[in-house]
Chains A and B, each alone.
Chain A
Amino acid sequence: MATNLSVDHPRPRHKRVLPGLGLSLGTSLLFISLIMLLPMAGLVMQTADMGWEQYWSVISDERVVASYKVTLWAAFIASIFNGFLGLLLAWVLVRYEFPGRRILDALVDLPFALPTAVAGITLATLYAQNGWYGSILESLGIKVAYTPVGIVLAMAFTSIPFVVRTVQPVLEELSPEEEEAGMTLGASDWAVFRRVIFPALWPALMTGVALSFTRSLGEFGAVIFIAGNMPYVSEITSLMIFVSLQEFDFPAASAIASVVLMASLVLLFAINLWQARYLRRLHGR
């Protein structure tokens, strides 16, 4: 004991002092295996039963391919839109002090806290022809509800907090020196933003946009109410899985799901790798 407490003794990094490794790691691994890995293995088994040709004919079906396109495009536009809006929100929340800032900060998380089905029926009602927004847009000749635009809107709504919450901390920690130097030298706001601030922000911004994109690809509840779900036009891929299930076509549902699952896993690992690399660079290791 005494040697452990002596002052010049280096902190025993490799020696485990704290208890509970076996218990905590064991429980976590068991839990993750049971609730995540086992069901995913089940999907692999199910699709492996199918045979390549049947698998391919399901996932390359015309209507399903149309749904990939709709989903990808809508998620892409929604996440780009969120890149701009999220950057603006993060900037205003971090840089300015104004009445209601705290409320605004809390409100940004509303799309995470609000159940997606509630978001779905609310947006559908607002943007429907006789809704508050829909009637105004209708007179301008714009239709949102029951079109792919509605899908973009629902996806953007449910995933906006991702961008704000990844950019915000980075913006908060940005050191003011370079920025002030630029300003003192007489560069314009825009030039300093573009040359100094944006390069520091964009890895976080990209991460946020990628997260928003991933979430949008999988969004279901908010989208189906506003999409109108017309075959070839406004059906998202999650809905195709759902429809196959209602027809008790488990092989088809599994095949489409395996495509969606692979896409989201690849995105997830790419985002995590990208973040790890960027963080390492940030800490100079």
Chain B
Amino acid sequence: MSGNKHKMRVGDSPWVRRTLIGLTLFLTFILLVVPLFSIFQQAFMKGAEHYFTSLVEADTLHAIGLTLVVAALTVPINLVFGVMLAWAVTRFEFPGRKILMTLLDIPFAMSPVVAGLLYLLLYGNNGWIGSWLYDQDIQLMFAWPGIVMVTVFVTCPFVARELIPLMQQQGREDEEAAVILGASGWQLFRRVTLPNIKWALIYGVILTNARAVGEFGAVSVVSGNIRGETNTLPLHVQLQYEDYQAAAAFASASLLAMIALITLLFKAFVEWRQERSLKIESDKEKQVTQ
């Protein structure tokens, strides 16, 4: 940053600086701020009363409930998976470690519609596993378990992706010391690892939650869109929007936008904390060397 008083760096002249900052602020305003604002503007288009009545409509409430259930089931599953995977790839060397990390990126690269289709093919009534389940009278697709399954798939990289770089950077020394001092596996994790990764873990969970609540493409393939039964909140938004109930659609959308905003706020908070703890550490080091 511009802390260095003696030497100029590229783009430090006031003219360039002002132009670039101005241009960036203008573009972000147009491309991000106005759309965000317009969600709430559209939601309250017909007044606050309409906003609240459309939110307490039975189908909307059901969609909210289903979405919360899906998130509540998805997040713990991916929390455990994320921690396990991050522990395996950052604490051990083994053949295929890089491949494993590439596999983890598949849900990011894959179209959500394809993800939904994969599950439908396998677990649908004509599917490989699905036809057997059908004989046992178990229906996964076009029902809530299917929604949970694809959501787990789509959101499984988030916790691990947050943890891996941090755990790599922190190294194994603290944990190895604890083992040598006789800590058991669980003690090691709870007393040494967990305090170090706490914030990244919480952020990973928040991100997983945000994506679980908002997943659209994959869920839309496996849900069957039964109003008041298998409609999650994003699907309900689509339904209302296509029914020309724009204000109601945006009212439902505003709930999802608020979850997104909370996620962003939390991320800013976590980063601020990390920066501060880094600064405190480097200040300490300076004092020691002085």
| B109: chain A residues within 8 A (beta carbon) | 214-215, 218, 264-265, 267-268
Give A189 Cβ to nearest chain B Cβ, in Å: 5
Binds B, one of A50-58, A99-107, A138-146: A99-107
CB distance from B207 to the nearest CB of A (A): 8
**Contact yes or no, A121 B250, CB < 8 A:** yes
CB-defined interface of A117-154 with B at 8 Å, one 1/0 digit per residue? 11101110110000011000000000000000000000
CA distance A27 to B88 in the complex (A): 10
Q: Is the beta-carbon distance between B24 and A104 smaller than 8 angstroms?
A: yes
Which B residues lie within 8 Å of A183 (CB)? 7-10
Shortest CB distance B134–A (Å): 15
Q: Are the C-beta atoms of A97 and B1 separated by less than 8 Å?
A: yes
> Do A114 and B256 touch (CB < 8 A)?
yes
With a cutoff of 8 Å between Cβ atoms, the chain B residues found around residue A219 in the complex are: 111
- Given A189-B11, A272-B105, A220 contacting B98 (CB threshold 8 A): no
Question: Interface majority SS on A: helix, strand, loop or mixed?
Answer: helix
Contacts of A119 in B (CB 8 A): 35
Residues of B within 8 A of A24 (CB): 84-85, 87-88, 91
Query: Is B31 part of the contact surface with A, judged by Cβ < 8 Å?
Result: yes
Interface residue from A43, A105, A116, A179 paired with B268 (Cβ < 8 Å): A105
Task: List the B residue with the shortest CB-CB distance to A214.
Answer: B109
Q: Which of A1, A89, A260 contacts B111 (CB 8 A)?
A: A260
A35 and B110 CA atoms in complex are apart in Å by 13
Pick the contact of A250: B92, B119, B121, B128 (CB < 8 A). Answer: B121
Collect the chain B residues with CB atoms within 8 Å of residue A193's CB: 10-11
Q: Is the CB of A176 within 8 A of B4?
A: yes
The residue that B20 contacts in the complex, of A32, A37, A96, A267, with Cβ under 8 A, is A96
Residues of A within 8 A of B105 (CB): 268, 272
Asked if A10 CB lies within 8 Å of chain B CBs, one says no
CB-based contact B257/A242 at 8 Å: no
CB-CB < 8 A to A220: which residues of B? 111-113, 216-217
A230 contacts which chain B residues (CB < 8 A)? none
Question: CB-CB < 8 A to A180: which residues of B?
Answer: 7-9
**Distance between Cα atoms of A192 and B8 in the complex (Å):** 12
B73 within 8 Å of A by Cβ?
Answer: no
Whether B153 lies near A36 (C-beta < 8 A) is yes
> Which B residues are in CB contact (< 8 Å) with A116?
214, 216-217, 234
The reply to whether the CB of A16 lies closer than 8 angstroms to some CB of chain B is yes
A27 and B84 contacting across the interface, CB-CB below 8 Å: yes
- Point out the residues of chain A lying under 8 angstroms from B237, CB to CB: 115, 117-118, 121
A157 at the interface (CB under 8 A from B): yes
State in angstroms the CA–CA spacing of A154 and B215 once bound together.
16
Complex contacts, B16 vs chain A, CB 8 Å: 189
Q: Are A257 and B114 in touch, CB under 8 angstroms?
A: yes
A48 is an interface residue with CB less than 8 A from chain B? no
Kindly state the separation between the CA atoms of A125 and B98 in the bound complex, as whole angstroms.
Answer: 43
Nearest-Cβ distance from residue A4 to partner chain B, whole angstroms: 6
Whole-angstrom distance between the alpha carbons of A220 and B98 in the complex? 29
CB distance from A134 to the nearest CB of B (A): 12
- Given A25-B94, A88-B20 in contact, is the A113-B264 Cβ separation under 8 Å? yes
In the complex, what residue of chain B is closest to A153 when comparing beta carbons?
Answer: B31
The smallest C-beta distance from A93 to any residue of chain B, in angstroms, reads 8
The chain B residue sitting closest to A258, CB to CB, is B114
Interface residues of B (CB under 8 A from A): 1-2, 4, 7-11, 13, 16-17, 20-21, 23-25, 27-28, 31-36, 38-39, 42, 80-81, 84-85, 87-88, 91-92, 94, 98, 100, 102-114, 117-122, 126-128, 149, 152-153, 156, 172, 175-176, 179-180, 185, 188, 207, 210, 213-217, 220-221, 234-235, 237-238, 241, 246, 249-250, 253, 256-257, 259-261, 263-265, 267-268, 271-272
Beyond A23-B84, A110-B36, 8 additional contacts (C-beta under 8 Å) are: A18-B175, A92-B21, A116-B217, A117-B214, A123-B35, A179-B10, A214-B109, A241-B114
Binding site for B on A (CB under 8 A): 1, 4-5, 16-21, 23-25, 27-29, 31-32, 35-40, 42-43, 45-46, 85, 88-89, 91-92, 94-98, 100, 102-119, 121-123, 125-126, 132-133, 157, 160, 176, 179-180, 183-184, 189, 192-193, 196-197, 214-215, 217-221, 225, 237-239, 241-242, 245, 250, 253-254, 257, 260-261, 264-265, 267-269, 272, 276
